[in-house]
Amino acid sequence: KLMAPYSKDWTGADALTSKREQDPAELTREDQIYLQTAFELHHYWKARMRALALTRSFEPEYDHLSEKMREIVSVSESLRDSTSLMSVLALILDIGNYMNDSNKQASGFKLSSLARLGMVKDDKNESTFADLIERIVRNQYSQWEVFVNDIAGVIGAQKLNVDQIRQDAKKYIDSIKNVQSSLDAGNLSDPMKFHPQDRVAQVVQRSMKDARRKADQMQLYLDEMTRTYDDIMTYFGEDNTDENARRDFFSKLDRKSTRLNS
């Protein structure tokens, strides 16, 4: 209310010639800045600042997110293509069934079971199941040792939250669509309602072609990452609809490679 007498309605037809009731020079420097920006331009201020922020952030944010998504796709594909990894997992299953009773034979096991490899010990309490697997691979199937290199990417990938990245990518795409909508038919579509010295539309429009192109590419990366990650989880018998399973998938394999490589 105290700002009102100092303000001017820039949406009015006679905005340039209309007089202010009180002189803004009476205000402090900070209040003058607030008056001439957020207060007088309140009818499009939020859309204005969102659009200007986008021109500064859409390129580095694209690089940041796309790099993470490409990493997830790359690691997922390396897991799927690793014949040595599947051979080691099959060896673990065979030895586990050999150790079990005939009526407790398994056709497979969950990746979470790998965490117990270092807990199952021999009758002398000196060697673990993980030690046994390592010795067999090293002495009899040395060609399988490359599985550690095949899945080395899980060490970095297990720090990534796939669902969070997916949400961030969707937010990125939506923010560009929202700014474009503001320019086309929203608060930024009528320059006649702007402050006469405000060039926000021209400034933002210069970036929107590249921004829209990156939003389209981001959608392609997002679709590929989602499909590839869901597929690799299903391939290893994990529930790709379970939040905890999605978060821990890479870390389960990271723990396995660490144990067998130590």
Angle ∠(114,137,101) on CA atoms, nearest 5: 55
Per residue in 182-224, pLDDT tens?
Answer: 999 999 999 888 999 999 999 999 999 999 999 999 999 999 9
Band of pLDDT at residue 50, cut at 50, 70 and 90 = very high
Segment 110-130 mean pLDDT: 77
What residues are paired with 121 via a beta bridge?
Answer: 128
For residue 109, is pLDDT > 90? no
Phi first, then psi: give them for residue 163, nearest 5 degrees: -70, -35
Question: What does the pLDDT read at residue 256?
Answer: 57
pTM: 0.84
Q: How far apart are CA 150 and CA 78, in angstroms?
A: 6
For residue 101, is pLDDT > 90? no
Question: What does the pLDDT read at residue 215?
Answer: 98
Alpha helices for 82-161 (secondary structure H): 83-99, 129-140, 147-150, 154-157
Segment 147-155 mean pLDDT: 90
Q: How far apart are CA 23 and CA 110, in angstroms?
A: 74
Instruction: Name the percent of the chain lying above pLDDT 90.
Output: 65
For residue 75, is pLDDT > 90? yes
Question: What does the pLDDT read at residue 127?
Answer: 81
Segment 230-251 mean pLDDT: 92
Q: Three-state SS across 197-235?
A: CCCHHHHHHHHHHHHHHHHHHHHHHHHHHHHHHHHHHHH
Segment 14-42 mean pLDDT: 94
For residue 259, is pLDDT > 70? no
Assigned token pair, 101: 């009773």
Question: What does the pLDDT read at residue 180?
Answer: 98
Question: What does the pLDDT read at residue 130?
Answer: 84
Environment class of 214 (CB within 10 Å of its CB; exposed 0-12, middle 13-18, buried 19+): buried
Q: How far apart are CA 238 and CA 256, in angstroms?
A: 16
Which of the pair, 118 or 252, is modelled with greater confidence?
A: 252
Which residues are CB-contacts of 62 (< 8 A; sequence separation ≥ 6)? 172, 214, 217, 218
| Summary mean pLDDT of the chain | 90
Environment class of 3 (CB within 10 Å of its CB; exposed 0-12, middle 13-18, buried 19+): middle
Question: What does the pLDDT read at residue 13?
Answer: 78
Question: What does the pLDDT read at residue 189?
Answer: 95
What residues are paired with 128 via a beta bridge?
Answer: 121
